[in-house]
Amino acid sequence: MELVVLSGKGGVGKTMIASSLALLFKKEKQKIVCLDADVDASNLHLWFGGVDFTNSKALFLTKQAVIDQKKCIHCGRCQQNCFFSAVEKIKGTFKIKPFSCEGCGVCQFVCPVGAVALKRQQNAFFKSGTTKSGIPLLSAQLLPGQTGSGKIVDFLKEQAEKQPATILLIDAPAGTGCPVIAAVKDADFALLVTEPTPSGFADLKQAFGLVDNFKIPFGLVINKFDINKTNSQAISRWAERHQARFISTISYDQKIFQALSNLTPITDTNLKARKEIEVIYANLKKITE
């Protein structure tokens, strides 16, 4: 089963819930592997209390244009046709601006003398390891100024499929961009997490649109529901209108942040949130089994 946890808005507790659910699955002897799809700012390992990343390698998943100055006839077609303005002319010589090139290949296509080539370049680091509780965790880190986050998530999912597990739990990044789309597609169930704030509600609707587009069954969790019960009720009514399975709620508690700073998983605490997440886990199992 491929289970993805997403939110639209960042900071709503998505990663806390994802890590806690993984630990509860593991506690019941389920074979689970976790994937941190937030390749721009991965932090799932922190909620597990730290991870020993034993494997690491460079990823070359994007391409960048390179101009062979010996072949170039300075016609300027590459510059004229570049949608991203990644070709600049310096003292009569056309050069590629590395942080602007998207590797689309248009310059290579329009060059009349074959002076432009697309070469693979490193855009990320892949890393894998095991949590203290024995859960395999796959992660990656996008290099500064690089692109291709969606391709990196696709690569992570390919690696996850090689793991001897029956459950793949994906912690999706915030937003609804390429890495989120890559994380969501092919999922068997999506757990939407939100908070009762105007921005949380608005971004929840965006996340819902993405899940609905892929026709993926989903459920809803409201974190920090008690900071604004009026908004929480509004979100609940919205969920009912859209036939969303309302899973449960989690209370606001500043001690959660203390647990994170001490690298203590929520399931190892005596916080109220632990019991509330256990309810979410039980309800989630009823739906997905």
The runs of H, that is alpha helices, within 111-194 are 149-160, 178-184
- Rounded Cα distance between 281 and 234, Å, is 24
- Rounded Cα distance between 212 and 227, Å, is 28
Domain holding 109: CATH number?
Answer: 3.30.70.20
Q: Show which of 105, 121, 137 is a domain's final residue.
A: 121
* Whether residue 137 is found in the same domain as residue 219: yes
- Rounded Cα distance between 88 and 107, Å, is 12
Give residue-wise pLDDT tens across range 184-232.
Answer: 999 999 999 999 999 999 999 999 999 999 999 999 999 999 999 999 9
* Whether residue 164 is found in the same domain as residue 257: yes
Give the containing element (helix H, strand E) for 80.
helix 77-81
Distance of CA 252 to the CA centre of its chain: 24
Q: What is the DSSP letter of 133?
A: T
Distances (CA, A) of 114 to 108, 120, 139: 7, 17, 38
Give the model's pLDDT for residue 26. Answer: 96
Query: Which of 158, 133, 136 lies closest to 61, judged by CA?
Result: 158
Task: Check if the beta carbon of residue 239 is closer than 8 Å to that of residue 266.
Answer: no
Owning domain of residue 78 = 63-121
Q: Show which of 85, 102, 121 is a domain's final residue.
A: 121
* Whether residue 156 is found in the same domain as residue 272: yes
Task: Check if the beta carbon of residue 97 is closer than 8 Å to that of residue 103.
Answer: no
Percent pLDDT > 90 in the chain is: 93
Give residue-wise pLDDT tens across range 50-79.
Answer: 998 999 999 999 999 999 999 999 999 999
Residue 242 binned pLDDT confidence (cut-offs 50, 70, 90): confident
What is the token pair recorded at 36? 């941190």
